[in-house]
Structure 1
Amino acid sequence: MFVRTENFRTFTKLYPIITTITAIHLVLWLIVQFSENFLHLTVGYNLLVFQGEYWRLFTPIFLHESITHLLFNSLSLVLFGPGLERLLGKVKFISMYLLGGIAANVATLLLAPVYYSHLGASGAIFALFGIYFYMVFFRPDMLNTANSQIVLVILAISLVMTFFTGNVNIYAHLFGFLAGTIMAPIFLGKGTYTRSLSQIFPNMRRSPSTAGKGQSIFWIVLIVLVALGALSRFM
């Protein structure tokens, strides 16, 4: 579910929403590099939202300032988004993605200082994590045990990075995740049975030889994402 084997052309055909969002990330990042005025007009800034510039609850979802920030969020979307776009369909996927990002920005508006400014897709991406989190425990028919283990490990790493990485919008991460978890049963429906943590991790001491090549590639990509996230605090 999380291992990408498609070539570029196939990926763009199978996942048009993720392809479009990623392209928007890149285009807007390039614009930001050459137009400081554009950034000033679109960045999330609580004071100006309170003054009526409500589009700033939406536009920051697609904005990134540094190259590491852009790569981290875009790679995260490409890695974790396709499974949900295929499962939910285009309309539901983009609806949950945008609603999660907006909810994260509303939480930032209400909880962060009035002069706080922010940008990035992290709130929307954490909403995707919230959907997966719901699937892990309440829709096990949609997510097998191996992928559930991956989701929980990634979520744990992401939460640690949230609190120990500098220049992170903690409100967006936490409330984006919460929004995704709350919306999940609305868009996915309720399952007929649940799964416990002990069922997800029945045996932590598995032989490394049981891991497939695809999973090895996944963990390499995950390590790269963690490294990019750590580097982004310095760039």
Structure 2
Amino acid sequence: MFIRHESFYSFRKNYPVITTLAAIHLILFAWMNFLPFGGWIQYFGVGFNLAVANGEYWRLVTPIFLHLSLTHVVFNTFSLVIFGPAAEKMLGSVKFIIFYLLTGIIANIATFILEPLNYSHLGASGAIYGVLGFYLYIVINRKDLMDRNSGQIVVTILIIGLIMTFAYSNINILAHLFGLISGAAIAPLFLVGVKPYYMQRAAYTEPSEPVFNPNRWQQRAKKKQLMVRIAWIALAALIIIGILSRLF
């Protein structure tokens, strides 16, 4: 579920929402840091509790797409590309983007209510933790939708993510927690009629992909072992990127 082996073209065709969100992250990051009016985007897009209290409610949405540092945008975009596609394929593009934005907004509302008025924040972490909450609900209550190895990866990522959330400063802890909680809480509403990820038909497959392979079972076992190894490598990369994002 979480190992990507598509080409860029097939990834873009199969996961249009993830591709669009990743592009928005990178474009807005580049604009904020290197292009004219970048400061204007940051000024009017940052989640600032006092401004929200004064009626600027769009700030409950705009922080989901904005990142200030390179490590921050790389970490969140990488996480989205790894963990988002399976959810988009299971829910469909429309339901997924509604779910993603809703959990991010709930996380920002919690930040507004529980943090002081002078608190400001940026980042897609609340919505990404919402996606992880979606998987957490599946691991606990809908085991038929996820294989065991993928479930173990989700639990491992969540444990490490929560440790990092409380271990480092300058992290919006409330956004992480309420994104996770809201994702798990509303997941049942979005999972009605959903089929397991492995039963979803790809919207696009590479022309060179064989229709029948007599050695597919042996290859599947080898691929499964490779997927587990790559997952741990990806996990280590996430940890390293997260640590660097707190240091620089």
TM-score (norm 2): 0.85
Superposed displacement of residue 120, structure 1: 0.1
**Alpha-carbon contact 1:131-1:181 (below 8 Å) kept:** yes
Indicate whether 1:229 and 2:232 are aligned. Answer: no
**Alpha-carbon contact 1:139-1:190 (below 8 Å) kept:** no
The structure 2 residue matched to 1:179, chosen from 173, 179, 182, is 182
Residues 115 and 68 (structure 1), Cα distance of their counterparts in 2 relative to 1, 3 Å cut: same
Runs of 4+ residues over 3 Å off in structure 1: none
Match of 1:195 in 2: none
Match of 1:4 in 2: 4
1:10 and 1:39 map into 2 onto residues whose CA distance is: 33
Q: Tell me the alpha carbon deviations over residues 51-86 of structure 1, each in whole angstroms, 9 at most, x when there is no partner.
A: 000000000000001000000000000000011100
Match of 1:15 in 2: 15
5+ residue gaps, structure 1: 192-208
Match of 2:206 in 1: none
Match of 2:42 in 1: 39
**Alpha-carbon contact 2:149-2:228 (below 8 Å) kept:** no
Indicate whether 1:125 and 2:138 are aligned. Answer: no
Q: Tell me the alpha carbon deviations over residues 74-122 of structure 1, each in whole angstroms, 9 at most, x when there is no partner.
A: 0000000011100010011001000000000000000011100000000
Superposed displacement of residue 189, structure 1: 3.4
Matched AA of 1:139: R
1:165 and 1:222 map into 2 onto residues whose CA distance is: 18
The structure 2 residue matched to 1:212, chosen from 210, 220, 225, is 225
**Alpha-carbon contact 1:29-1:70 (below 8 Å) kept:** yes
2:14 and 2:193 map into 1 onto residues whose CA distance is: 27
The structure 2 residue matched to 1:134, chosen from 117, 132, 137, is 137
The structure 1 residue matched to 2:148, chosen from 138, 145, 148, is 145
Superposed displacement of residue 37, structure 1: 2.1
Q: Tell me the alpha carbon deviations over residues 115-152 of structure 1, each in whole angstroms, 9 at most, x when there is no partner.
A: 00000000000000110000001001101111111111
**Alpha-carbon contact 1:129-1:151 (below 8 Å) kept:** yes
Superposed displacement of residue 32, structure 1: 1.0
Superposed displacement of residue 221, structure 1: 1.3
Match of 2:61 in 1: 58
Superposed displacement of residue 190, structure 1: 9.3
Matched AA of 2:184: T
Aligned partner of residue 113 in structure 1, secondary structure:
coil
Matched AA of 1:4: R
Superposed displacement of residue 5, structure 1: 0.5
5+ residue gaps, structure 2: 195-221
2:75 and 2:161 map into 1 onto residues whose CA distance is: 12
Superposed displacement of residue 234, structure 1: 1.7
Superposed displacement of residue 211, structure 1: 6.6
The structure 2 residue matched to 1:95, chosen from 95, 98, 101, is 98
Match of 2:219 in 1: none
2:154 and 2:188 map into 1 onto residues whose CA distance is: 18
Backbone CA RMSD of aligned residues: 1.6
2:41 and 2:189 map into 1 onto residues whose CA distance is: 36
**Alpha-carbon contact 2:153-2:231 (below 8 Å) kept:** no
Match of 1:203 in 2: none
**Alpha-carbon contact 1:138-1:190 (below 8 Å) kept:** no
Match of 2:51 in 1: 48
Residues 190 and 85 (structure 1), Cα distance of their counterparts in 2 relative to 1, 3 Å cut: closer
2:98 and 2:22 map into 1 onto residues whose CA distance is: 16
TM-score (norm 1): 0.90
